Amino acid sequence: MSAPFIGKREYFPGIGRIPFEGRESDNPLAFKHYEADRKIGEKTMAEHLRFAVCYWHSFGNAGHDPFGPGTRNYPWDAGSSPIARAEAKLDAAFEFFTKLGVPYYCFHDIDLAPDADDVIEYEKHLQHMVALAKMRQQASGIKLLWGTANLFSHPRYMNGAATNPDFAVVARAAVQIKAALEATVELGGENYVFWGGREGYASLHNTHMKRELDHFARFLTMARDYGRSIGFKGNLLIEPKPMEPMKHQYDFDSATVAGFLHKHGLDKDFKLNIEANHATLSGHTFEHDLQVASDHGLLGSIDANRGNAQNGWDTDQFPTDLYDTVGAMMVVLRQGGLAPGGLNFDAKVRRESTDADDLFLAHIGGMDAFARGLEVAHALLARSPWETWRAERYASFDKGAGKDFEQGKLSLADLRELAAQQGEPAKRSGKQERYENLINQYLMR
């Protein structure tokens, strides 16, 4: 195990590299299930899970909410200038990534570098910080899972970025997308994400929806073309979310975005980044939106978090529910993995969690929850009767007339003839409880 890379000062003193201690350990600062090098099937846990820490929640968000300011004092926020603070934040972030033992991180342009209204100043800030991040990546071996641009915080984007009714704002949004794509390429980022923060509407009364969606497609096409022209080879990822901050967001859910990408010929370059709490906001389960994306061949990456069953908003909690992680990993394993995507913890510690070690505890819990989800999902698929049971449910399509139907060889009239001959179909139980019991049985092993 290599020694943690430490910058000019240590931001998380008293915490070393997080060890794996196994399920009997009560040490809060140790992994109980995540053992990076342990093989699950053909790949190691690290290769399956491809964990990333996000910059914005972990190092930028001091706990502010609509009712009050931040509650945490971040030592990296004490510098005398915005650039000095950004440099200190970078050191703190790489110290954290290294001590936690994650292979990847993700950022928005203005998490990494200070924002500026002046275009040249904005670009200079980002280039300066990208050069430093590149050095930290080389020194630590930590890689960039994805970069993105924040096109939703600045007041100029209040009516949207690419879908803004004012062309001047659409053009200004291009400044950030162009710079963030360049930053991602420079840092070897394996994906690039578009979360359409305010691409949607607050009211249909003043909105020309079709025109905005056409602008969105035009903008994404330009971004794709620019990205490819500067050597970006990875996946471009759209992150669906149905609402918040807008009343309605155009990238509503997996099914909506799949239709949009196909309609505009973008489905070869773009895939989806599915976030658990966004899926639940759209009235689906996390597993549902993953499955829809995967069935379209579009599941590219995951923002791992969870919502709160009693709250109707995006609480971005760390994932701890094993039932959810088993379900998610079943989808991922069935499609043969997530690479070049990964599992990014788009999650924040609670406002009341104010100690430096809380950030470690939250990530350890999330990583262990997905490691256990991976183990159980793999066992269910490889060793349990699950896949056989599911296949048997559809066995009538594997031969005879059922197979002919799947292959398009029968007409509606043919089906009527078959039905008239066969008589009333026998009732066949869905046996849902059998599957539910199997998950718990394997979780308890």
Cite the active site residues: 108, 111
Of 317, 328, 324, the closest CA to residue 361 belongs to 317
Positive or negative CA dihedral for 273, 277, 281, 283? positive
Q: Where are the beta strands (DSSP E) in 190-298?
A: 191-194, 200-201, 235-238, 248-249, 270-275
Q: Nearer to ligand XUL by C-beta: 328 or 333?
A: 328
Q: Nearer to ligand XUL by C-beta: 241 or 378?
A: 241
Q: Is 10 annotated as a binding residue?
A: no
Residue type present at position 288: H
Residue 148 interacts with ligand XUL (CB under 6 A): yes or no: yes
DSSP for 378-389? HHHHHTSSHHHH
The secondary structure of residue 395, as a DSSP letter, is G
Q: Is 346 annotated as a binding residue?
A: yes
The secondary structure of residue 73, as a DSSP letter, is -
Of 315, 304, 313, the closest CA to residue 346 belongs to 304
Q: Nearer to ligand XUL by C-beta: 179 or 377?
A: 179
> In angstroms, what is the C-alpha Rg of the chain?
24
148 binds, among Co ion, ligand XUL, none (CB under 5 to 8 A by kind): ligand XUL
- Measured between its terminal Cα atoms, the distance across the chain in Å is 30
Q: Nearer to Co ion by C-beta: 275 or 324?
A: 275
Residue 287 interacts with ligand XUL (CB under 6 A): yes or no: no
Cβ neighbours of 166 (radius 10 Å): 11
Cβ neighbours of 111 (radius 10 Å): 23
Residue 251 interacts with ligand XUL (CB under 6 A): yes or no: no
C-alpha 340/C-alpha 353 separation (Å) is 33
Write down the least CB distance from residue 432 to Co ion, Å. 31
Residue 253 interacts with ligand XUL (CB under 6 A): yes or no: no
Residue 289 interacts with Co ion (CB under 5 A): yes or no: no
Residue 182 interacts with Co ion (CB under 5 A): yes or no: no
Q: Is 316 annotated as a binding residue?
A: yes
Write down the least CB distance from residue 73 to Co ion, Å. 26
Write out the binding residues for Co ion, residues 325-364 only, by CB under 5 A.
346
Torsion of CA 360, 365, 367, 372, to 10 degrees: 160
Q: Is 303 annotated as a binding residue?
A: yes
Write down the least CB distance from residue 411 to ligand XUL, Å. 47
Q: Is 357 annotated as a binding residue?
A: no
The binder of ligand XUL chosen from 111, 186, 212, 275 (CB under 6 A): 275
The binder of ligand XUL chosen from 198, 241, 271, 306 (CB under 6 A): 241
Residues 106 and 56: beta-carbon distance below 8 Å: no
Write out the binding residues for ligand XUL, residues 66-125 only, by CB under 6 A.
108
C-alpha 164/C-alpha 157 separation (Å) is 7
C-alpha 192/C-alpha 149 separation (Å) is 9
Using the rule CB under 5 A, give the single segment among 27-35, 63-71, 134-142, 269-277 that binds Co ion: 269-277
Q: Is 239 annotated as a binding residue?
A: yes
C-alpha 1/C-alpha 242 separation (Å) is 43
The binder of ligand XUL chosen from 109, 190, 346, 375 (CB under 6 A): 346
Write down the least CB distance from residue 139 to ligand XUL, Å. 26
Residue nearest to ligand XUL (CB): 195
Q: Is 289 annotated as a binding residue?
A: no
Q: Which residues bind ligand XUL (CB under 6 A)?
A: 108, 148, 193, 195, 239, 241, 275, 303, 314, 346
**Residues engaged in binding Co ion (CB under 5 A):** 275, 303, 346
